[in-house]
């Protein structure tokens, strides 16, 4: 049947070509239209909502509070908790030994003192040299020296003053770096405690005698009673511009609030894990359990009242889009259209047809 149809179409096309090419062999040449299926394959232009919707997979987990070493280093003296332990706010997670402070701090203090004395001497010498140059400049002016000599001595004074200012800035910077080394290099004996009631979910304090560096991640506490969704990461700018964000858990809809990362959380995640995750607070989650799977739905590009058609009713050529409208007598009529938003097999129509127009579809 396929071959017969092909032969029939070829014969028809050949007859049309001959009718055009041979004078006197025919007059009204039919216009070839794009095949669009049967007469029953029609759709309607309607008005309604259009939007983009994505869903990401998450699961119900507790909220995490992270603990890290502050300024200075810590020498681990004892770790009184283990993974999975229940802790209360203020409970000691890691005990630290501050006995190593004296020798290291004393050495840095000695460097600071020596550098301060050296700076005072060099600055006083530079100030004396500036005063001498200024006196020499005044003498040249009083003696009526040449302008060239006066300008040269004036430039020398300015250069010495600028150099002294620059040296003082550099000296302050070097002293500040030593003070920072003193603060970070010193051993702290202040214990690290839990910031909340919860469960020890991660512990990276090391072993007894290990040194915890400044800023190092020490523990993560799962906040008691908290529930949030955690899963695939969605960029913060997408969430901020979204029309709607909600979750589907067990077939039910739940309202949620995105929980963007703080700088502290970002640094902690870098230390604890290498992957960024999307986190969302469950606004009302009494009936959900830890470990349940959920889909976070993000609705963007929302348009409330637009005219749209199925995309299989839209045609295009080099520089335009068009549709075939079914007329009252059952014929089809081409209408050029201007399109807008496209998503989910639908196309927004900005102009060219009206609501309710019946269109032929491919």
* Domain shared by 7 and 72, yes or no: no
Give tens-digit pLDDT for 218-251.
Answer: 899 999 888 889 888 888 888 888 999 999 999 9
* Domain shared by 163 and 197, yes or no: no
Rounded to whole angstroms, what are the CA distances from 187 to 37, 99, 139, 190, 211? 82, 7, 59, 9, 9
* Domain shared by 92 and 212, yes or no: yes
d(CA 95, CA 209) in angstroms, rounded, equals: 11
Around 77, how many Cα atoms within 13 Å sit in the side-chain half-sphere?
15
Q: Provide the pLDDT for residue 271.
A: 67
* Domain shared by 161 and 192, yes or no: no
| 172 part of a folded domain | yes
**Chain mean pLDDT for the chain:** 82
Give tens-digit pLDDT for 96-154.
Answer: 886 655 566 777 788 889 999 999 999 999 999 999 999 999 999 999 999 999 999 99
Answer whether residue 324 shows pLDDT above 90.
Answer: yes
Domain extent at residue 19: 1-32
* Tokens, residue 83: 């993974």
d(CA 231, CA 57) in angstroms, rounded, equals: 6
What is the CA angle 237-238-240, rounded to 5? Answer: 65
Phi, psi angles (nearest 5°) of residue 115: -65, -35
Give tens-digit pLDDT for 285-314.
Answer: 788 888 899 999 999 989 889 999 999 999
Q: What's the pLDDT band for 189 if we cut at 50, 70, 90? A: confident
Q: What is the DSSP-derived secondary structure letter of residue 18?
A: H
* Domain shared by 168 and 136, yes or no: yes
* Domain shared by 24 and 122, yes or no: no
State the total domains in the chain. Answer: 3
d(CA 206, CA 210) in angstroms, rounded, equals: 6
* Domain shared by 214 and 81, yes or no: yes
| 180 part of a folded domain | yes
d(CA 220, CA 200) in angstroms, rounded, equals: 6
| 131 part of a folded domain | yes
Give tens-digit pLDDT for 9-21.
Answer: 344 433 433 333 4
Closest by CA position to 43, among listed 350, 345, 303: 345
* Domain shared by 89 and 204, yes or no: yes
Confirm whether pTM is higher than 0.85: no
* Domain shared by 89 and 214, yes or no: yes
| 24 part of a folded domain | yes
| 270 part of a folded domain | no
Provide the CATH number for the domain around residue 195. Answer: 2.40.50.100
Answer whether residue 24 shows pLDDT above 60.
Answer: no
* Domain shared by 79 and 211, yes or no: yes
* Domain shared by 93 and 111, yes or no: no
Determine how many CB atoms are found less than 10 A away from the CB of residue 74. Answer: 28
What is the CA angle 263-95-73, rounded to 5? Answer: 55
Query: Is residue 255 within a helix (H) or strand (E), and if so which, with residue range?
Result: strand 252-258
Q: Provide the pLDDT for residue 274.
A: 58
Answer whether residue 27 shows pLDDT above 90.
Answer: no
The highest-confidence range among 38-47, 214-223, 267-276, by mean pLDDT, is 214-223
Last residue of a domain, one of 224, 250, 284: 224
Last residue of a domain, one of 154, 185, 216: 185
The highest-confidence range among 16-25, 32-41, 316-325, by mean pLDDT, is 316-325
Phi, psi angles (nearest 5°) of residue 70: -80, -145
Q: What's the pLDDT band for 35 if we cut at 50, 70, 90? A: low
Those residues with Cβ within 8 angstroms of residue 52's Cβ, 6 or more apart along the chain or in another chain: 299, 300, 301, 343, 344
Q: What is the DSSP-derived secondary structure letter of residue 238?
A: H
Answer whether residue 1 shows pLDDT above 50.
Answer: no
* Domain shared by 23 and 151, yes or no: no
Give tens-digit pLDDT for 158-172.
Answer: 999 999 999 999 999
Give tens-digit pLDDT for 53-70.
Answer: 899 999 998 888 889 887
């Amino acid at each position: 049947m396929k071959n017969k149809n092909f032969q029939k179409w070829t014969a028809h096309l050949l007859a049309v070509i001959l009718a055009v090419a041979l004078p006197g062999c025919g007059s009204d040449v039919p216009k070839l239209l794009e095949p669009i299926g049967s007469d029953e394959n029609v759709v309607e232009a309607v008005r309604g909502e259009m939007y983009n919707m994505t869903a990401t997979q998450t699961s119900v987990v507790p909220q995490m509070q992270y603990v890290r070493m502050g300024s200075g280093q810590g020498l681990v003296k004892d770790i009184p908790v283990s993974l999975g332990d229940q802790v209360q706010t203020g409970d000691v997670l890691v005990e630290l030994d501050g006995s190593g402070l004296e020798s290291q701090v004393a050495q840095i203090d000695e460097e600071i003192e020596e550098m301060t004395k050296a700076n005072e001497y060099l600055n006083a010498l530079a100030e004396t040299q500036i005063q001498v140059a200024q006196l020499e400049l005044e003498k040249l002016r009083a003696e009526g020296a040449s302008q060239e000599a006066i300008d040269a001595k004036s430039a020398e004074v300015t250069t010495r003053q600028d150099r002294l200012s620059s040296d003082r800035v550099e000296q302050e910077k070097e002293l500040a770096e030593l003070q920072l080394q003193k603060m970070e290099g010193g051993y702290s004996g202040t214990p690290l405690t839990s910031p909340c009631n919860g469960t020890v979910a991660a512990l990276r304090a090391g072993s007894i005698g290990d040194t915890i560096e400044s800023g190092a991640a020490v523990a993560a506490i799962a906040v008691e009673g908290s529930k949030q969704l955690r899963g695939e990461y969605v960029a913060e700018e997408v969430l901020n511009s979204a029309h709607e964000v909600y979750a589907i858990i067990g077939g039910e809809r739940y309202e949620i609030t995105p929980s963007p990362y703080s700088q502290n959380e970002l640094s902690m995640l870098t230390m604890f894990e290498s992957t960024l995750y999307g986190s969302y607070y469950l606004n009302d989650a009494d009936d959900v359990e830890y470990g349940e799977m959920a889909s976070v739905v993000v609705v963007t590009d929302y348009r409330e009242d637009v005219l749209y058609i199925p995309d299989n009713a839209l045609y295009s050529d080099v520089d335009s889009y068009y549709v075939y409208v079914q007329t009252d007598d059952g014929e089809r009529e081409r209408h050029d259209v201007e399109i807008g938003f496209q998503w989910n097999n639908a196309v927004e129509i900005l102009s060219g047809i009206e609501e309710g127009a019946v269109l032929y579809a491919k």
